[in-house]
Amino acid sequence: MQDLIKLDFVDLALAVGLMAISIGLSAWEKLGLELNFAIATGRTILQLLVLGYVFDFILAVNNVWAVLGLLAIMLTITAIVARNRISQKIPLVLPVVWGAILVSTALTLFYVNLLILQPDRWFEARYLIPLGGIIIGNAMNAAAIAGERLVSTINNSSGEIETHLSLGATPQQAVTQYRREAIRAALLPTVNQMMLIGMATLPSITAGQLLGGVNPLDAVSYEILIIFMVAFANLLTTILVTRGLCRQFFNSAAQLIR
């Protein structure tokens, strides 16, 4: 197999040229995205360079506390981002989202490490950090979509919910349909990706492995593992998030809080 083509600083500078062209096109079309593109480009470079050095250090030391610490930081940041994407500020929404992503990530990694990868040490950084990062990032998006959909639906259906409550339904029964709709909405992108993967789309992870010189069958094998991990973690995250958020809309007397 051909040796990996490494990118030097000149190559990366030329890659930045793509964003310079994008800024120029935005200005030409008067889209008003020039500043956003410029800031996003700078942040992407800075954040990924920092991430690269941090990963290099953690992979070198391969210490359990360093690995778990980095995953905890990633989890907290993504939980805050997911919380901010939910328009209505509900009490305890951050702990709900944080806990849901934590549980789904931990259970998924436990299953994969114990039954599939079986590394010499369960906290092996080269496996735990990339896989954990993928799960956390996707779970964040699923939690944000499910949470926003659920909150907006409940706010727009307060009359219907109170009718169900007055007829003797429990709070969970009154919002069951809204929970299901929110979960379906959050999982739709994942299901669509699974339907088309390998046919109409080439996953970025597989593409990256191929560019890195990995055998195509090995790259596809890991992609299968990753997509199934993401589907499970997203489903579990949305179930936990919607259950937790629903409790925030009712008081101890099972009354809807407006």
pLDDT of the residue at 87 = 74
Query: Cα–Cα distances in Å, from 10 out to 6, 17, 211?
Result: 11, 11, 18
Between 248 and 238, residue with greater pLDDT? 238
The three-class DSSP label of residue 201 is strand
pLDDT of the residue at 3 = 63
Amino acid at 41: T
pLDDT of the residue at 55 = 85
Helices 216-247 and 93-111, packing angle to 10 deg: 150
pLDDT of the residue at 9 = 85
Query: Cα–Cα distances in Å, from 54 out to 30, 47, 67?
Result: 39, 10, 10
Extract the tokens encoding 254.
């099972």
CB 79 within 8 A of CB 101: yes
Instruction: Inform me whether the pLDDT recorded for 2 exceeds 70.
Output: no
The CB-side HSE value for 26 (13 A sphere, CA atoms) comes to: 14
What is the mean predicted confidence (pLDDT) over 12-27? 92
pLDDT of the residue at 202 = 64
Q: Which residues pair with 252 in a beta bridge?
A: none
Amino acid at 170: T
Between 27 and 214, residue with greater pLDDT? 27
What is the mean predicted confidence (pLDDT) over 128-157? 92
Under the banding of pLDDT at 50, 70 and 90, the label for residue 31 is confident
Please list the alpha-helical segments (H only) found in 29-157.
34-61, 64-85, 93-111, 125-156
CB 78 within 8 A of CB 235: no
pLDDT of the residue at 183 = 94
DSSP state of 2: P
DSSP state of 114: I
pLDDT tens readout for residues 50-66: 988 888 888 888 888 99
**Whole-number Å distance between alpha carbons of 156 and 214:** 50
**Whole-number Å distance between alpha carbons of 169 and 162:** 9
pLDDT of the residue at 201 = 64
Amino acid at 19: M
Instruction: Inform me whether the pLDDT recorded for 252 exceeds 80.
Output: no
Extract the tokens encoding 115.
């039954």
Under the banding of pLDDT at 50, 70 and 90, the label for residue 123 is confident
Residue 67's nearest CA partner among 131, 112, 138, 117 is 131
- State the DSSP H helix or E strand holding residue 216, giving kind and residue range, or none if neither: helix 216-247
Sole residue written with tokens 């920092």? 50
Predicted structure pTM score: 0.84
Under the banding of pLDDT at 50, 70 and 90, the label for residue 137 is very high
pLDDT of the residue at 188 = 93
All structural domains of the chain with their residue ranges: 1-61, 63-247
pLDDT tens readout for residues 69-122: 999 999 999 999 998 888 766 778 889 999 999 999 999 999 999 899 898 888
Instruction: Inform me whether the pLDDT recorded for 144 exceeds 80.
Output: yes
Under the banding of pLDDT at 50, 70 and 90, the label for residue 203 is low
What is the mean predicted confidence (pLDDT) over 242-251? 87
pLDDT of the residue at 212 = 66
pLDDT tens readout for residues 152-201: 898 888 888 888 888 888 888 888 899 999 999 999 999 988 887 766 66
What is the mean predicted confidence (pLDDT) over 7-20? 88
